[in-house]
């Protein structure tokens, strides 16, 4: 089953590259939008990651915004907000993306979905990576990122710790606020930051 899903993701990605090279982005994005609406969460998630990377028409972006507002599935809402934010980079859309990202234990659903998708694009979900990027300057994003440490494992947890360490290197006081939550990881975070703190 995993091989079939990996093949599906590879075919979608190959289609993105092929179609984009022939400038048929409108057709491709329409197909991806249909996949994003799928009730199969893995197909929907894969489409989300790809929609964030292809050109969208304004009407398609409006449709995705509506899905973010009316969706009942928390991960699909976060995915929709991720796509919108990646295309607009407007502060309101960034804030909405941060607000829709799962908190604490809820991140396990996103991590499991990313694993089922065959780790499309990276070991950790691109949504978590984007949250980490926003967390460099946004305290709400940092709070959510910190909440993931106890609910991720392996390479994903290490990526989250590395992201927090990078923030610690730039602004230790922002991370120190979460000392109680990060209790057993603080030494690792400090060590990873390498004592190169800018504050």
Place 80 in a pLDDT band, splitting at 50, 70 and 90.
very high
The tokens for 109 are 């659903």
Which of 13-22, 82-91, 97-106 shows the lowest mean pLDDT across its residues?
13-22
Q: Which residue has the higher pLDDT, 194 or 98?
A: 98
Residue 58 counted as domain residue: yes
Q: Which domain covers residue 71, as residue numbers?
A: 2-193
pLDDT attached to residue 52: 95
Residue 198 counted as domain residue: no
Is pLDDT at 25 greater than 90 in this prediction? no
Averaged pLDDT, 48-65: 94
Residue 199 counted as domain residue: no
Nearest Cα residue to 64 out of 91, 97, 41: 97
pTM: 0.83
Residue 123 counted as domain residue: yes
Q: At which residue do the structure tokens 């992201």 appear?
A: 163
Provide the number of structural domains found in the chain: 1
Q: Are 57 and 26 in contact (CB under 8 A)?
A: yes
d(CA 53, CA 107): 23
Residue 146 counted as domain residue: yes
pLDDT tens for each residue of 156-172: 999 999 999 999 999 99
d(CA 16, CA 55): 11
CA dihedral 30, 123, 69, 15 (to 10 degrees): 0
d(CA 3, CA 98): 32
**Sign for the pseudo-dihedral over CA of 179, 180, 185, 187:** positive
Residue 111 counted as domain residue: yes
Q: Which residue has the higher pLDDT, 91 or 6?
A: 91
pLDDT tens for each residue of 140-150: 999 999 999 99
d(CA 56, CA 126): 19
d(CA 20, CA 54): 8
Residue 48 counted as domain residue: yes
Q: Are 66 and 36 in contact (CB under 8 A)?
A: no
Percent of the chain residues past pLDDT 70, beyond the cut: 83
d(CA 58, CA 33): 13
125 CB neighbour count, 10 Å cutoff: 30
Residue 177 counted as domain residue: yes
Q: Which runs of consecutive H residues, i.e. helices, occur in the chain?
A: 2-21, 25-36, 41-51, 58-70, 74-88, 91-100, 107-116, 126-135, 139-147, 154-170, 172-176, 186-193
Percent of the chain residues past pLDDT 90, beyond the cut: 67
């Amino acid at each position: 089953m995993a091989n079939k899903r990996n093949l599906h993701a590879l075919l979608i990605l190959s289609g993105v590259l092929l179609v984009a090279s022939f400038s048929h982005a409108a057709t491709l994005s329409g197909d991806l939008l249909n996949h994003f609406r799928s009730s199969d969460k893995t197909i929907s998630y894969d489409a989300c990651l790809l929609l964030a990377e292809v050109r969208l028409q304004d009407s398609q972006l409006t449709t995705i915004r509506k899905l973010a507002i009316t969706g009942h599935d928390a991960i699909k809402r976060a995915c929709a907000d991720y796509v919108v934010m990646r295309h607009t980079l407007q502060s309101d859309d960034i804030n909405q993306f941060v607000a829709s990202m799962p908190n604490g234990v809820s991140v396990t659903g996103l991590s499991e979905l990313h694993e089922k998708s065959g780790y499309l694009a990276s070991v950790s979900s691109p949504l978590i990576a984007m949250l980490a990027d926003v967390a460099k300057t946004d305290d709400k994003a940092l709070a959510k990122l910190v909440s993931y440490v106890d609910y991720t494992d392996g390479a994903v947890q290490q990526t989250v710790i590395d992201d927090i360490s990078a923030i610690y290197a730039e602004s230790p006081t922002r991370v120190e606020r979460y000392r109680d939550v990060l209790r057993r990881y603080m030494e690792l975070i400090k060590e990873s930051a390498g004592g190169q703190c800018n504050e």
